[in-house]
Amino acid sequence: MSYSIDVLEEEQCVVVVHTGETPISDFIKARNKAAKRLKEKGWSKIIFDSRAVEHTPTLIEAYGLTAGFTSVFSSETHIAVLINPDRDLDVNFLEDSAKQTYGLSFKIFNEYKAALQWLVRSEEVRPRARFDF
């Protein structure tokens, strides 16, 4: 297994860390287990940390993984993905696709602290349904 799943109780966030040789099947297994953990906790924030993987998924693989988020996460879920800044990946394309095509609250980062701060702020500014009659 090339991943671990942890929880940050104070931030109410699930963290998935991928390391070493990580086949696409492990990304999918980790995503599904993390989604289950998130649902059990009743939380809506998750970090996928892929900075320590040996081979970055291709753009097509990354797009497929992003598209797969819609099958396991609700539209209320805020998803932060950490990648190594030295990796060649079209971040803008993936973020735009996630937001515009799939309606996901999704952002890619290089630093853990920035990702966590974004998740905390995302939760604070989430629009609330309001009915004025």
Domain annotation covers residue 27: yes
What six digits make up the tokens of 112?
Answer: 């853990």
- State the CATH number of the domain containing residue 41: 3.30.750.24
Check if the beta carbon of residue 40 is closer than 8 Å to that of residue 64: no
**Number of Cβ atoms within 10 Å of the Cβ of 116:** 19
Boundaries of domain holding 54: 3-124
39 Cβ contact list (under 8 Å, min separation 6): none
Look at the chain and report how many structural domains it folds into. 1
- What's the predicted TM-score (pTM) here? 0.84
pLDDT in tens, the chain (133 residues): 689 999 999 999 999 999 998 888 899 999 999 999 999 999 999 999 999 998 877 777 887 887 888 888 888 899 999 988 887 777 777 888 777 777 788 898 999 999 999 999 986 655 443 334 3
Domain annotation covers residue 107: yes
Within the chain, strands assigned E span 3-8, 13-20, 45-53, 78-82, 105-109
User: Sign of dihedral through CA atoms 93, 44, 83, 121?
Assistant: positive
Domain annotation covers residue 131: no
